[in-house]
Chains A and B, each alone.
Chain A
Amino acid sequence: MNPIVPSRRDFLKGAAAAAAAGVVPMSVVKLAFADPALDFTFGYISDAHIQHISGTKFVRNWDRGLIRAVAETNLLNPKPDFVVFGGDLGQLGMKEELDHGAEIMSKLRHKTYYVMGEHDYYLDLGEYWSKLFGPQWHSFDHKGVHFIVLNSILTFDDWTFNRWPSAEQRMLEMAGLDNPNGSPFMVGEKQRAWLKADLDKVAKTTPVVVFSHSPLQKLYKGWNFWTDDADEVQALLRPFDKVNVIYGHVHQIQYNQVGNIAFNAVMATAWPWPYPQTYAHAEHAMPVLTVPMNRADPFHERDATGWQFIDVHTGRVALNYNLYNNTARTVAFNPASGRPEDKLFQDPAKRIPPQEHY
């Protein structure tokens, strides 16, 4: 094919494909519950990292990412039943940041659930966040699915309460990557006890969807792609037939299956992280990087960021990623293989080779 003059057929084929892919987020989402009344979708926006500069000034790039995700989520049709914000609304937990983020989020025409991120928490230990958004962990039922919101970014009390001369320094230490002064995330004993009690009331056949900020699996400790008591949390979820964990924090697409639990990560609206070297810790918990993302184009400040809407059917989730400046992707549970898979790119022959730069 001539790269400058595509043939009419290729053009129309391209247009049709674009139309098919493009129409989906805004019109027809196919759902597969036996009872169509139980089919539903929800939106997921995460990791906005709204950052205060001074006075009324905030980092423009992070603002624009969240503003765009909110505006686009408002265009979804059929309308999602609710929206989840996956944590790290602010960058350094300041009131200014949480207020500004909440103001942008207030344009959403949907009920919204919030997950706590470490960037929201470690300045005042979640006090202002809780005032704005309510309890840090709770559960709710929706159309036959049991949803659980966890605060998975807690850590050792000694680190939280005794180590740092100021709240500001504590926040900065937890915000750093590869920081020897950091501390691993955890759900903690108290919350696990609550989780156990909550789950005891739920039938084992009920599909369970858990929202956490950090992955409830151990991926890479240096960047806290990690939850220290992940094994204990997973043990509580193991008796259920279908469990889905959706997490933020990693700013990239990840998916994995551990026993009955399907793990899916969501994109950030702020910036992308690269895929870290996986940690040789617990073999069964390591997702293999099967579909690398293209290197982000530095000109397009929204490249390699995005948001997603999530399709819930037969108790499993399908994440539809809206990726700016890039091909939209869907990672859905494949009943045949028993794990989440990329609908288009799982087959190596269908992948877009990563860009090469000279």
Chain B
Amino acid sequence: MKRILLGFVAAAALVGAAAMAADATAPPLGLPPVPIPADNPQTPEKIALGKKLFEDKRFSSTGQVACATCHDAQKAFTDSPLTTSEGIKKGGKPLTGTRNAPTVVNAAYFVSQFWDGRSPSLEDQSQHPFVNPVEMGLKDHRPILKIVRSDPAYAKAFEQVFGKKGAAITMKEVEQAIAAFERTHVAGDSPFDRYYFKGDAKALTDQQKRGFDLFVNKGRCVSCHVVEQNTALFTDNRFHNIGVGINGIQNDVPALAGEFLKAKVTLAEVDVKILGDKRTSELGRFAISRDFEGLGAFKTSTLRNVAVTPPYMHDGSLKTLRDVVVHYNNGGVTKEGDPVNDFLSGGIRPLNLTEAEIDDLVAFMEALTSPQFASLPSGARTEVKP
């Protein structure tokens, strides 16, 4: 009963929102309304300011790296085809982190941010890469504040958007503007959306239709990559050990987990530690949850536009979508016959898909690309070279 009631309230709220909002803010086909925090409403000026901040390379220690470096609008807001992101350069060579840059597109729908969910919101998330030693390399946020308080264009924009100037401008306003910009990057209206939510039978090929059937049945993909009645986020916003990364450190888990707990690190220190040390990074959600369930677990990615954001998984270790399906088909190991890790999430098990069925599933995932990204190279079957 409770659930029905909640649904009713939510529906009523939606009707209210729809009545108030102009069509311009209606979400794309297949997506729910973008959740907007009450204390950070969207305005065109704020979004424009956020874009400027997002693209500003001065917010890095070398003046060469912006948010947009790893979340490039031309690459569906990723740094595809890089395996793991490249940050500031040291001695002419870029420093690399341990994780594959997730797209900003549709990140507004995630309940938590980063691969391990260590940040609760886009606002909070945006502050961390600036000061991560392998990303933008600042010692602290003061250089950013110095620029936004003194640069005339920024000063004007912050006053206009937040009514604040000089020392009154803090990282809170910077974070809010960046998050507001990111919330504009939502993308649905894929062939799948037109097929499933609009009843356009011709939107998918026969192979893609077979792939969708496998997606919800034999392949069991939908259990985590959720499709609902009227919308599809393709994520359950949860964390699962699917046998990526953790498989390589299995014997070291007791030592790594033990050391991590003993160090009693703060969330900010976690950020530095996991991007700086590949082996610690593979502990995954454990770095936040500190429980058994979190060992080797990472957030379920959305599958929207997945074909154009290779490579795959939190460490970028799988080059094509086909490799991904094969990994799942093997029951959580990339190479058939390799040992399965002890902490593998329930639900990950061999699928017995045929080669043709694997192809069908891959074809289905190519039907999740939104029109604005349709011209990007597909990493579905063949590796996209840098």
Given contacts A25-B292, A74-B254, A353-B2, contact A4 B346 (CB under 8 A): no
Whether A22 sits at the interface, judged by CB under 8 Å, is: yes
Given contacts A22-B289, A71-B343, contact A60 B349 (CB under 8 A): yes
**Complex contact A71–B342 (CB within 8 A):** yes
**Chain A: CB-nearest residue to B223:** A299
**Complex contact A68–B342 (CB within 8 A):** yes
Contacts of A302 in B (CB 8 A): 345-346
Given contacts A4-B111, A18-B289, A356-B3, contact A26 B345 (CB under 8 A): no
Contacts of B288 in A (CB 8 A): 15, 18
Among candidates A2, A22, A68, A299, residue contacting B290 with C-beta atoms closer than 8 Å: A22
**Complex contact A26–B35 (CB within 8 A):** no
Given contacts A4-B109, A26-B257, contact A324 B293 (CB under 8 A): yes
**Complex contact A322–B346 (CB within 8 A):** no
**Complex contact B124–A8 (CB within 8 A):** yes
Given contacts A22-B289, A25-B292, A353-B2, contact A75 B223 (CB under 8 A): no
**Complex contact B35–A2 (CB within 8 A):** yes
Nearest-neighbour CB distance to chain B for A131, whole angstroms, equals 27
**Complex contact B120–A19 (CB within 8 A):** no
**Complex contact B121–A8 (CB within 8 A):** yes
Of B35, B37, B120, the most chain A CB neighbours within 10 A belong to B120
Residues 245-284 of chain B, each 1 if its beta carbon lies under 8 Å from chain A, else 0: 0000000011001100100000100000000000000000
Among candidates A4, A75, A353, residue contacting B254 with C-beta atoms closer than 8 Å: A75
A residues 54-74 touching B (CB-CB < 8 Å): 60-61, 64, 67-68, 70-72, 74
Whether A348 sits at the interface, judged by CB under 8 Å, is: no
**Chain A: CB-nearest residue to B34:** A4
**Complex contact B261–A27 (CB within 8 A):** yes
Whether A301 sits at the interface, judged by CB under 8 Å, is: yes
Whether B291 sits at the interface, judged by CB under 8 Å, is: yes
CA distance A16 to B257 in the complex (A): 18
**Complex contact B342–A25 (CB within 8 A):** no
Contacts of A75 in B (CB 8 A): 253-254, 257-258, 292
Given contacts A6-B120, A77-B258, A356-B1, contact A64 B344 (CB under 8 A): yes
Nearest-neighbour CB distance to chain A for B140, whole angstroms, equals 20
A residues 320-348 touching B (CB-CB < 8 Å): 322, 324-325, 328
Count of chain A to chain B residue pairs whose CB atoms are closer than 8 Å in the complex:
94
Residues 296-329 of chain A, each 1 if its beta carbon lies under 8 Å from chain B, else 0: 0001111100000000000000000010110010
Whether B347 sits at the interface, judged by CB under 8 Å, is: yes
**Chain B: CB-nearest residue to A72:** B292
**Complex contact A6–B111 (CB within 8 A):** yes
CA distance A358 to B35 in the complex (A): 27
Whether A5 sits at the interface, judged by CB under 8 Å, is: yes
Whether A32 sits at the interface, judged by CB under 8 Å, is: no
Residues 1-29 of chain A, each 1 if its beta carbon lies under 8 Å from chain B, else 0: 01011111001100100110111011100
Give the number of residues in A that approach B within 8 Å (Cβ atoms): 40
CA distance A339 to B284 in the complex (A): 39
**Chain B: CB-nearest residue to A303:** B346
**Complex contact A11–B120 (CB within 8 A):** yes
Nearest-neighbour CB distance to chain A for B263, whole angstroms, equals 12
Contacts of B378 in A (CB 8 A): none
Among candidates A4, A5, A21, A299, residue contacting B291 with C-beta atoms closer than 8 Å: A21
Whether B294 sits at the interface, judged by CB under 8 Å, is: yes
Whether B112 sits at the interface, judged by CB under 8 Å, is: yes
Nearest-neighbour CB distance to chain B for A105, whole angstroms, equals 13
Whether B220 sits at the interface, judged by CB under 8 Å, is: yes
Contacts of A2 in B (CB 8 A): 35, 37
**Chain A: CB-nearest residue to B37:** A5
Contacts of A7 in B (CB 8 A): 120
Among candidates B2, B35, B344, residue contacting A4 with C-beta atoms closer than 8 Å: B35
Contacts of B294 in A (CB 8 A): 22
Residues 207-244 of chain B, each 1 if its beta carbon lies under 8 Å from chain A, else 0: 00000000000001001000000000000000000000
Residues 312-326 of chain B, each 1 if its beta carbon lies under 8 Å from chain A, else 0: 000000000000000
CA distance A302 to B292 in the complex (A): 13
Given contacts A8-B120, A15-B288, A21-B291, contact A26 B261 (CB under 8 A): yes
Nearest-neighbour CB distance to chain B for A328, whole angstroms, equals 8
**Complex contact B349–A68 (CB within 8 A):** no
CA distance A26 to B261 in the complex (A): 9
Nearest-neighbour CB distance to chain A for B351, whole angstroms, equals 12
**Chain B: CB-nearest residue to A61:** B349
**Chain A: CB-nearest residue to B340:** A64
B residues 321-353 touching A (CB-CB < 8 Å): 331, 340, 342-347, 349-350
Nearest-neighbour CB distance to chain A for B337, whole angstroms, equals 13
Among candidates B37, B121, B292, residue contacting A322 with C-beta atoms closer than 8 Å: B292
Contacts of B109 in A (CB 8 A): 4
CA distance A15 to B109 in the complex (A): 20
**Complex contact A301–B257 (CB within 8 A):** no
CA distance A2 to B293 in the complex (A): 25
Contacts of A356 in B (CB 8 A): 1-3
Contacts of B350 in A (CB 8 A): 60
Nearest-neighbour CB distance to chain A for B12, whole angstroms, equals 15
Please give me the 3 A-B residue pairs with the lowest Cβ-Cβ distance, nearest first: A22-B291, A302-B346, A11-B120
| Residues in chain B within 8 A of chain A (CB atoms) | 1-3, 35, 37, 109, 111-112, 120-121, 124, 220, 223, 253-254, 257-258, 261, 267, 288-294, 331, 340, 342-347, 349-350
Known A5-B111, A303-B346; further 6 A-B contacts with Cβ < 8 A: A11-B120, A23-B261, A26-B257, A61-B349, A75-B253, A356-B3
25 of the cross-chain contacts (CB-CB < 8 Å) are: A4-B35, A4-B109, A4-B111, A5-B35, A5-B37, A6-B120, A8-B120, A8-B124, A15-B267, A22-B291, A25-B291, A27-B261, A67-B342, A68-B344, A71-B253, A71-B342, A75-B257, A77-B261, A299-B220, A299-B223, A300-B347, A301-B346, A301-B349, A325-B346, A356-B3
